[in-house]
Amino acid sequence: MTTLEPFGARLRRAMDERGPLCVGIDPHASLLADWGLNDDVAGLARFTRTVVEALADRVAVLKPQSAFFERFGSRGLAVLETAVVEARERGALVLMDAKRGDIGSTMAAYAATYLDPASPLFSDAVTVSPFLGYGALRPAVDLARENGCGLFTLALTSNTEGQEVQRAVRADGSTVAATMLGHLAAENAGAEPLGSFGAVVGATLGDLSAFDLAINGPLLAPGIGAQGATPADLPAVFGDAVRNVVPSVSRGVLRHGPDPEALLTAAARFADEVRKAVDQPGL
């Protein structure tokens, strides 16, 4: 199988052409109920198919949250497998939100699940957790590079509990989050137009000027919409790195379903608002 063009290059082009937006596919029970669907595999499949058919040929990135499919066992994973294939066929980049992190052969198995073209869950990128040590992610880093995929490593998440780990100070005086950002910058060194190794940085965190976000890679920014952040907040949070931000919206778009046109309209509105915010003069 031919190796894909590096993820960073494909992401940059997709955001330029389709708008800088990632839409989460989060079929949690309350959202299924809001759509008038049962909390079962049939409801899951209907929800997922509607989102993919409405958005996959128009938005840059779709981000299925694996947990909401895993809770239905093998039948839920079958729905996820179909969604990944169909979304990619329609032109969307698929970012699997799985937040995997382990060591040795286990990490290699997680990497193969999402980053090996032979896998039924092969995705363009996957979220990973580095808190067993960044070096433990090496199997995923290497396989992503080999197959033209990307990683989004947790760095500065928006949940308050994350601060006790991410903002902890190491013996050398740097925070854990800053250390992770430094590793990612090293992975992306020399990449053009954008590196493939990104960080997850919450859009609700306010001023992050104490952290060097210039990693030459994408910054996945959850928190737009229902969690309280707006596209207009992005320049203040991300500063000079704002053009590499991939804002992630889930409920802010999904609550407009099950009408496909309403889903598309909501996604297009967010993408337009983000584009206007990040293209402000002087950034």
Please give the helix or strand (H or E) that residue 105 lies within, else none: helix 104-115
Give domain 7-276's CATH architecture: Alpha-Beta Barrel (3.20)
Q: Are strands 61-64 and 125-128 parallel, antiparallel or unpaired?
A: unpaired
pLDDT tens, residue by residue, 92-106: 999 999 999 999 999
Residue 283 clears pLDDT 50, i.e. is over it: no
- Phi, psi (degrees; rounded to nearest 5) at 248: -115, 125
Closest listed residue to residue 23, CA positions, set 117, 92, 109, 73: 92
Residue 225 clears pLDDT 80, i.e. is over it: no
Residue 280 clears pLDDT 90, i.e. is over it: no
28, 49, 90, 99: which is the annotated catalytic residue? Answer: 99
Q: Which residue has the higher pLDDT, 130 or 4?
A: 130
276 catalytic residue (yes or no): no
Q: Are strands 245-249 and 125-128 parallel, antiparallel or unpaired?
A: unpaired
Residue 282 clears pLDDT 50, i.e. is over it: no
Q: What is the mean pLDDT of residues 53-72?
A: 98
Each domain of the chain, given as residue ranges in start order, spans 7-276
Residue 239 clears pLDDT 70, i.e. is over it: yes
Least confident of 198-207, 221-230, 231-240, 259-268: 221-230
Q: Say what the pLDDT of residue 146 is.
A: 98
pLDDT tens, residue by residue, 109-130: 999 999 999 999 999 999 999 9
Alpha carbons 95 and 214: distance in angstroms, whole number: 21
Q: What is the mean pLDDT of residues 180-200?
A: 98
Structure tokens at 100: 């995997």
Residue 281 clears pLDDT 80, i.e. is over it: no
Strand ranges inside 142-211, DSSP E = 150-156, 197-201
Neighbours of 6 (CB within 10 A): 21
Closest listed residue to residue 236, CA positions, set 187, 277, 183: 277
